[in-house]
Amino acid sequence: MPTISELLAALPAEQDRPDLSSLPSASCESSFQALTDRIAHRRTPTGMFARTCSVTGLTAKLALAYGAYWIRSWYKTGDQQQQDLLETHLRSALQTLETAGYLRGAFAKLGQLAVCAPDDTLPAAWIETMSRLQFQAPPMHWSLIREQLRNEFDDPDAIFAEVDPTPIAAASLGQVHIARLVSGETVAVKIQYPGISRAIRSDLRALKMLFRPFQSHAQWQGLRDLFDELQTGLEAETNYQQEASNLQTAKDVLEHDEQIVVPNVFPNATTRRVLTMEFLQGEMLESFLTKNPTQETRNHYGRLISKASYELYRHHLLYTDSHPGNYIFMKDQRLGVVDFGNLRRLSEREWDFHLAVNHARKTNDQGAIRQLCQQSLLMSNEDADRHSTHLDVVVKMFDLLNEPILFEGEFDYGDPTYLQRGGELFSQASKSRWVKQIPANLFAHRMNFQIPAVLLKLKCRVNMPDLIRECGMIR
């Protein structure tokens, strides 16, 4: 482990820090355009060396940027600290955006994760730049799409009668086109960028190498477990046959509800790199909101979004792809749920833990709740004493997440203070030096923050106790 003095020596000097005035800010449209143009002209590097350099460079920059802030903050006043933090966030957002555009794949996925974070967890500049990344991923031209189809199917013409060359959506790992099958059905075809799966593996290997110096750290095992969880999840997302299987699993769970629609998969037109699904006609959230839906309609869709997630959870599945682009607001008040790249099944042991958590919540047993939070952080009693502040924050987060469930009546997800409080706790938790936790928490946290973030955008109210009674209690 490097010493503090070594870290300080490695920090960029003040004069080496980028001139922020030369960097585009989220509010400066023309400069932002220049940045996105630069990214659009940069292509995905395929070599391990080039990719390692990029990832290493980015990670080192981010680590140094935050390291600089952290160490300097010991000596600064509150106002100055706030200013420095904002600058650090902005620089990091821009650097992440540049590299995300460059490496696509894994970082685009992480970029999307950031978009779903509560508004106050990350600064507005970050959210803004990442939102643009989510919807302005560099497109694949039609000839590249066609080559991918030829690569995947011996004779794509025998499967697809027609493919619209213009994509309808950019996915983090590819893009989506409308097509018509030879058998006549209109379908949505998700096509992956060539080599992206290999690129992600290469990125993860590079990141793993970066973590090596921390092997002797007391929390190394916990870090490695979290990393392995992230790796498994990302790798699963690159396999569209796995996603097809997840779609079927979700469909089996949700098909009893006529108002929640999971698209059918066409297995003969699906491979590891191409996923062909039934095309669901409808609107995305942004477009849906421009029509000023009534509060009743908003509540209806909010309830369906919550219900889909809760039903899957009852079947031991964590739906961790809940971002606005994955919901289709269909005619007849139906909701389409389209992306299941990352459906995490809880093991029996993990489920038993969730049952214990649910029981503690129902009985409002504060002692048990604290004990379970301690377990989820993999803390011994000694650790819990030493890191009691962090444990307190996690218990508060647990209470916060339960508020909508315990609130009798319609909980107002449109009230931004709910997620702001979550953001504050999240921010406090991230300052802790305790990083260990149960690996499944990564996905549970993702789900627990993503869904309220979507519901906030929808500005809906949902009666959660009523919904839970309707679906059935967890046993």
Does residue 38 interact with another protein by CB under 8 A?
no
d(CA 251, CA 238): 20
The residue from 272, 300, 457, 459 that contacts another protein (CB under 8 A) is 272
Q: Which residues of 132-143 are buried (b: 16+ CB within 10 A; e: fewer)?
A: bbbeebbebeee
Residue span binding another protein (CB under 8 A) among the ranges 59-67, 137-145, 154-162, 177-185:
137-145
What is the end-to-end Cα distance of the chain in Å, rounded? Answer: 46
User: Taking the complex as a whole, how short is the minimal distance between the CB of residue 331 and another protein, in angstroms?
Assistant: 35
Does residue 194 interact with another protein by CB under 8 A?
yes
The residue from 52, 92, 99, 148 that contacts another protein (CB under 8 A) is 148
CA angle 181, 321, 306 (to 5 degrees): 105
Does residue 270 interact with another protein by CB under 8 A?
no
Do 109 and 173 touch, CB atoms closer than 8 A? yes
Do 105 and 199 touch, CB atoms closer than 8 A? yes
Site string for another protein, 199-218 (x = CB under 8 A): x-------------------
Kindly report the number of other CB atoms within 10 A of residue 212's CB atom.
9
Does residue 381 interact with another protein by CB under 8 A?
no
Does residue 54 interact with another protein by CB under 8 A?
no
| Count of residues near another protein by CB under 8 A | 24
d(CA 199, CA 210): 17
Residue span binding another protein (CB under 8 A) among the ranges 22-30, 127-135, 190-198, 434-442:
190-198
CA angle 353, 356, 360 (to 5 degrees): 140
C-alpha closest to that of 475 among 303, 298, 354: 354
Judged by CB, which is closer to another protein: 136, or 151?
151
User: Taking the complex as a whole, how short is the minimal distance between the CB of residue 200 and another protein, in angstroms?
Assistant: 12
Kindly report the number of other CB atoms within 10 A of residue 203's CB atom.
20
Does residue 186 interact with another protein by CB under 8 A?
no
Judged by CB, which is closer to another protein: 195, or 409?
195
The residue from 69, 160, 193, 449 that contacts another protein (CB under 8 A) is 193
Judged by CB, which is closer to another protein: 129, or 148?
148
The residue from 39, 106, 117, 140 that contacts another protein (CB under 8 A) is 140
DSSP secondary structure letter of residue 319:
E
Site string for another protein, 151-170 (x = CB under 8 A): xx------------------
Judged by CB, which is closer to another protein: 202, or 342?
202
User: Taking the complex as a whole, how short is the minimal distance between the CB of residue 451 and another protein, in angstroms?
Assistant: 34
User: Taking the complex as a whole, how short is the minimal distance between the CB of residue 29 and another protein, in angstroms?
Assistant: 23
State the alpha helices, DSSP H only, in 279-415.
285-289, 295-314, 348-363, 366-376, 381-386, 388-406
CA angle 324, 259, 186 (to 5 degrees): 75
C-alpha closest to that of 298 among 285, 308, 309: 285
Give the CB-side neighbour count of residue 388, counting CA atoms within 13 A. 4
Does residue 72 interact with another protein by CB under 8 A?
no
Residue span binding another protein (CB under 8 A) among the ranges 6-14, 113-121, 142-150, 293-301:
142-150
**Quick one: tokens of 144?**
């590249």
Judged by CB, which is closer to another protein: 272, or 457?
272
Residues near another protein (CB under 8 A) are: 41, 43-46, 140-144, 147-148, 150-152, 193-199, 272-273
